[in-house]
Structure 1
Amino acid sequence: MERSRTIAAPTAQILAEIVDFRRWTAWSPWEDADPAMTREYSGADSGVGARYRWSGNRRAGEGSMEIVGVDPAGVDIRLTFTRPMTADNVVRFDLTADGAGTRATWSMTGETSGLAGLVSRIVPMDRLVGRDFERGLERLDAVATADTGRER
C-alpha cells in the first residue's frame, strides 16, 4: 500500500525529517494514539542504523523501526510490530523532484500471517492504515514547509 503527496519543500528538508526518528513526533500520524506512549531511541542519531522502539496502549501497540537504507531519493525502514499483532514490514519513502517541490511517496509492504493475515482478509491493510499515511504526509508537509528556509 502507498500514499503520495507533493510538498512545497526541497527533498533534503523532507529527508532530514524522515531519517531522524526523534523528529517523527512532530508529524507521525500515530503520535496521538497514546499520550503515555513510551519511546526509546538507539543506534545512530539519524540515518542508517537509527532505531526507534515504542510501547503504548492497544491503538499504539508495540514495535520497532530501524533505518536500513538512505539515498538522495529516499529511505528504507524495517518495521516490526510485536503487539497487538506480530508483523514484519518494509517501509519506503520515495522522494522525487516535482516542480518547485518534492513528491513524497510512503509505502509499506509485507506478508501477513496468523491473526494479522486473517484480519487483512476481512479488512485490507490499505483500509486499516491508508488514512494514517495520508494524515502523516499532511503533517510532514506542514512541518517541512514551515522549516523551509530555516536551519534546524
Structure 2
Amino acid sequence: MTLLLFVICLIVAVAALAIHLQPDRFVVTRSALIDAAPEKVFAAINNLRNWDSWSPWANLDPHATASFEGPAAGPGAAFEWSGDKSVGAGRMTIVDSRPTERVDIKLDMRKPFKGSNDISFALAPDGEDVAGSWLARAFRVGRKSPARTHVTWTMSGQADFVSKAVNLAMNCDKMVGGQFEKGLANLNAHLSK
C-alpha cells in the first residue's frame, strides 16, 4: 500500500511539474488575405454589431443572449454575451482602433473558464496600382489591381495553472487557431459578396 501511495504521489508531482513548466503567456495568431480594401475590412471588425455576419462563434448557440454598450464602433464599443458551453459567457470591449490599420480588443471570459485576454487585428493593404510593362499599363490606364488586405488575428494572455493543464491535454493553439481560420474565411466570404 505504501508503494502504491508513493507511485501516485510521484505521478502527481511529475504532472504538477510538467504543468508548472508550461509558458506563463500564450499567443495564438492566424493570418489571411481578405479580398476587400482595408477600409471595408476595418469597418467590419471595428463595429462589434457586424460580427454576427462573420464570427466563427455566431451560430454555435442559437439561444445565446447578446447586448451592446457604448458607441456603435471604435474605442468603448462593447459586446456582452451568454450562452451554452459552445460559446460560454463574456465581454469584448474595443480599447483602441486605428482606421485601416488595427483594432485592439479586451476579452473578459466568465464561462467556461475565467480569463482576461488581449485580441488584436492588424491590417495591411495588398494590391497597389497596376505595374508592369508599358503595354500592360497601356491597357489598364487608371485601373488598379483588386484591393485586398492582409489580416492578422492574434489573441494573447496570461496562462494560469488551469489553462496550462488544459493546454497539456488539448492543443489550444490548434483549437482556437482553427476558429480564427474559420472566422477569417467567413470575413473574406462576407466582404467579397
For normalisation by structure 2, the TM-score amounts to: 0.73
Amino acid at match of 1:80: D
* Structure with more of its chain in strand, by fraction: 1
Aligned partner of 2:37 in structure 1 is 10
State the Cα RMSD in Å.
1.1
Residue-pair matches, total: 146
Task: Give structure 1 regions of 4+ aligned residues with deviation exceeding 6 angstroms.
Answer: none
Amino acid at match of 2:170: V
- Aligned 1:37-76 pairs, distance under 5 A: 37-72=64-99, 73-76=101-104
Amino acid at match of 1:90: D
The Cα offsets for residues 34-70 of structure 1, whole Å up to 9 and x where unpaired, read as 0111001001111110000000001110000000000
The Cα offsets for residues 73-107 of structure 1, whole Å up to 9 and x where unpaired, read as 11000001110101111000000011231001101
Aligned partner of 1:93 in structure 2 is 121
Select the residue among 106, 116, 121 that pairs with 2:168: 121
For normalisation by structure 1, the TM-score amounts to: 0.92
Unaligned runs of 5+ in 1: 147-152
Aligned-pair CA distance for 1:125: 2.2
Unaligned runs of 5+ in 2: 1-27, 128-146
Aligned-pair CA distance for 1:114: 3.9
Aligned partner of 2:58 in structure 1 is 31
Name the % identity.
37
